[in-house]
């Protein structure tokens, strides 16, 4: 079972608190930083769909605060920019 299928549903009673999202956001930022560095990996091997899904799951399962939503917007911008460089 993959990470996204295990965590795609919010727990009963609502979303998880924003404080639990920071470690996941940090991981996503680290991964995007790693693959966008020059020569870190071949862009055609970076699965943009997977990372976009991870972001969506985070949004759907946590009560995010404004600063976390800003971080997600920056991540999406970087993912979009990286996807554009592959074509």
Q: What is the pLDDT of residues 13-48, one digit of tens each?
A: 689 999 999 999 999 999 888 877 755 556 566 677
pTM of structure: 0.70
Phi-psi category of residue 46: left, alpha or beta, with phi > 0 → left and psi -120 to 50 → alpha: beta
Using CA atoms, how far apart are residues 57 and 5, in angstroms rounded to an integer?
9
Task: State the sign of the Cα–Cα–Cα–Cα dihedral 53, 31, 82, 2.
Answer: negative
pLDDT higher than threshold 80 for residue 49? yes
Instruction: Give φ, ψ of 56 to 5 degrees.
Output: -60, -45
- pLDDT score recorded for residue 6: 47
pLDDT higher than threshold 70 for residue 3? no
Break the chain into its structural domains and give their ranges.
19-86
Taking CA atoms, 72 is separated from 6, 39, 42, 52, in Å, by: 21, 24, 23, 10
């Amino acid at each position: 079972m993959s990470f996204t299928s295990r965590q795609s549903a919010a727990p009963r009673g609502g979303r998880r608190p924003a404080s639990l999202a920071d470690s996941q956001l940090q991981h996503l930022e680290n991964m995007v930083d790693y693959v966008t560095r020059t020569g870190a990996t071949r862009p055609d091997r970076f699965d943009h769909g997977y990372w976009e899904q991870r972001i969506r799951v985070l949004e759907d399962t946590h009560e995010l605060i404004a600063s976390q939503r800003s971080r997600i917007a920056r991540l999406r911008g970087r993912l979009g920019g990286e996807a554009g460089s592959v074509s």
